[in-house]
């Protein structure tokens, strides 16, 4: 694996070029251009605020639009990165058959380009928080730590789904359904505190909130963003460390799976 890391580092310029190409293609021939990075999350925030705050009556949460946008931006980063990573190998079939380069460059570049898109959209959140009077505390300086954890987890998932999609083209369709279900199982439009701590199933008491965080790293990551940017409080270190370890494990497993099957990509795509 050390050799693979060295080779990947030698191809870092290729990753950069792919990220730049993706960002240019994203805004090419667009009327608003980069402004879509700000307009799109704002529009989605308005929709979710109307549906879940006005219609569902969640008015007890202060600055609900800020609450929504704080989770919606990293969630959009995750879903877009995973979807793009899933298709990255298959979409680059002509290139893979003609030129040698580390195949992991493709899903990694997909994650990196969506991370840049996420960072571009962040000023919208801070501007909204400022307008609505939601105080940003110095704990927001720990934002890069949570971002790094999310990048590790997203890259690991992307490497796994990219590998599966080469051999089973239904993976892309299945992921669309899974990501939708994943969205509702992650505290995007509701606070984690609304999830019951105890639920009795077939006579067995289950700590639903704890298992949601254990089985869904994105729930922990979103909660960490909320702690730092919305509530203005630190994330519990044991909580953050467990999420970091899980994300690192997903990244390592995903990379090993990708390396195991990547020699067959040329003949399968």
User: Residue 182 is encoded by which pair of tokens?
Assistant: 């994943």
Tokens of 138: 């110095």
pTM comes to 0.90
Q: Specify the pLDDT at position 86.
A: 96
- Extended strands (E) in 67-180: none
Judge whether 67 and 111 are in contact, CB under 8 Å. no
DSSP states of 198-252 as a string? -EEETTEEE-HHHHHHHH-HHHHHHHHHIIIIIS--PPPHHHHHHHHHHHHHHHH
Other CB atoms within a 10 A radius of the CB of residue 100 amount to 7
The three-point CA angle 21-26-28 to 5° equals 90
Taking Cα atoms as reference points, which of 21, 187, 214, 224 lies closest to residue 105? Answer: 21
Q: What is the pLDDT along the chain (269 residues), one digit of tens a residue?
A: 778 888 888 888 989 999 988 877 776 665 556 666 777 777 778 887 777 766 555 567 788 889 999 999 999 999 999 999 999 999 998 888 888 889 999 999 999 999 999 998 899 899 999 988 898 999 999 999 999 999 999 999 999 999 999 999 899 999 999 999 999 999 888 888 787 777 766 777 777 777 787 889 999 999 999 999 999 999 888 888 999 999 999 999 999 999 999 999 988 87
């Amino acid at each position: 694996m050390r050799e693979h890391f060295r080779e990947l580092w030698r191809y870092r310029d290729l990753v950069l070029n792919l990220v730049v190409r993706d960002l240019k293609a994203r805004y090419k021939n667009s009327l608003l251009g980069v402004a879509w990075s700000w307009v799109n999350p704002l529009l989605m925030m308005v929709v979710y605020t109307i549906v879940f705050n006005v219609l569902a009556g969640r008015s007890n949460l202060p600055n609900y639009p800020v609450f929504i946008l704080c989770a919606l931006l990293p969630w959009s980063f995750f879903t877009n990165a995973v979807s793009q990573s899933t298709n990255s190998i298959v979409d680059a079939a002509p290139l893979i058959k003609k030129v040698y380069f580390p195949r992991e460059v493709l899903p990694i570049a997909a994650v990196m380009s969506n991370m840049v898109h996420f960072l571009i959209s962040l000023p919208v959140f801070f501007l909204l928080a400022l307008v609505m009077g939601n105080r940003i505390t110095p704990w927001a300086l720990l934002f890069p730590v949570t971002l790094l954890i999310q990048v590790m987890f997203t890259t690991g998932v992307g490497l796994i789904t990219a590998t599966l999609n080469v051999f089973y083209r239904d993976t892309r369709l299945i992921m669309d359904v899974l990501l939708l279900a994943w969205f509702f199982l992650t505290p995007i439009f509701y606070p984690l505190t609304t999830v019951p701590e105890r639920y009795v199933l077939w006579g067995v008491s289950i700590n639903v909130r704890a298992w949601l965080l254990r089985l869904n790293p994105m729930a922990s990551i979103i909660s960490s963003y909320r702690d730092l940017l919305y509530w203005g409080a630190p994330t519990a270190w044991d909580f953050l460390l467990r999420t970091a370890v899980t994300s690192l494990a997903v990244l390592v497993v995903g990379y090993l799976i990708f390396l195991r099957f990547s020699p067959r990509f040329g003949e399968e795509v």
